[in-house]
Structure 1
Amino acid sequence: MDGAFDDWVDADYLGSGAGLGSLVGEPGAAYGVDLAVYTPFTHRAIGCAMRVHSVLGAGFPEVIYQRALSIELAREGMQAQQEVETPIYFRGQQIGSRRVDFMVEGPQPEKPILVELKATTDLADIHFAQVINYLEAYHLHVGLLLNFGSTSLQYRRFIKSTFHT
């Protein structure tokens, strides 16, 4: 995955040790995204996903986890829109549309968090690329990739700092 995309950061890839704050967690940081304002929201959403996985375990189709996560997000009091369809543009022309699994509340109404679900044995580069492409298409800064298909919940947080025109 290293070098495949030059303007995104996988926050979990960076790790939680020293240096993360100086890269993405401070206003005016190198990546231009204040991750600290998103963290409470991403933690709550990941917590909801963990509760869903602890009850259902692995082995169901993605739609089952999507329905369960919708219930758990509402129970947590998080605003979330499910199956959000948005047009995709290329050089100013609409070429189609895609649906993301969820847009979950973020630090401001215009800054939601994209949440994409999978139910596969392991995450692959194509799943990472999908989230990165969705962040680009929707001009969103933070996305979560949640995989319910393994023995424990897998999750990755992505930060998109710049967008192509």
Structure 2
Amino acid sequence: MDEYTELTGIIVGAAMEVHSHWGPGLIESIYEKSLAHELKLRGIEVRRQVKLQLKYKDLELDEDFTLDLIADGKVIVELKVVKELAAIHQAQLITYMKRTDCKVGLLINFNVVILKRVFGVSRFPSKQLPSSPL
């Protein structure tokens, strides 16, 4: 068991609680606010809509990334409300992880009938992968 297993378990449990309350069909911001609140109720520090400034070599870009949630400063939680998760969603999360000190990220799709791994929740890097800086 790695150091992130307990935290990601709490996050997934909180997401399941939010999903069981609302079900599918709402906009992403509703799930985001609800999940942030649920995590706080469970004693997890959470930051919402975290801006990451982009820099190319010595040029600071006007555009920036906005992460949905960072839990306990360790796990990025990227939320979606889509028919199905696509490779671009995974690439987005992995890019966020590379631009932060977060070694683990969760990709959660609330637009599913039952929120569980494979259909609604993916962890990056997966438990099977060795921990390595991204």
Q: What's the TM-score bracket when you normalise by the shorter of the two chains?
A: 0.7 to 0.9
2:81 maps to: 119
Q: In the alignment, which of 21, 27, 38 is matched to residue 61 of structure 1?
A: 27
- The structure whose RCO (Cα within 8 Å, separation 6+) is larger is 1
Q: Larger Rg: 1 or 2?
A: 1
% same residue: 34
Tell me the distance in 2 between the aligned counterparts of 1:140 and 1:78: 15
d(CA) in 2 for partners of 1:53, 1:92? 43
Partner of 1:78: 44
**Superposition TM-score, scaled by structure 2 size:** 0.85
Structure 2: tracts of 5 or more residues without a match: 126-130
Does the alignment pair 1:161 with 2:132? yes
Maintained 8 Å contact 1:89/1:137: no
Corresponding position: 1:143 with 2:105: yes
| 1:4-31 deviation digits (Å, cap 9, x = unpaired) | xxxxxxxxxxxxxxxxxxxxx6xxxxxx
Cα deviation per residue 1:16-68 (whole Å; 9 max; x = unaligned)?
A: xxxxxxxxx6xxxxxxxxxx111100000010000000111000010110111
Contact 2:80 2:110 in 1 (8 A): yes
Shift of 1:161: 2.5
Q: Could you tell me how far 1:92 is from its partner in structure 2?
A: 4.2
Q: Is the 8 A contact 1:53 1:148 kept in 2?
A: yes
Matched, 1:101 2:58: no
Which structure dedicates a bigger proportion of its chain to helix? 1
Paired residues, what number? 124
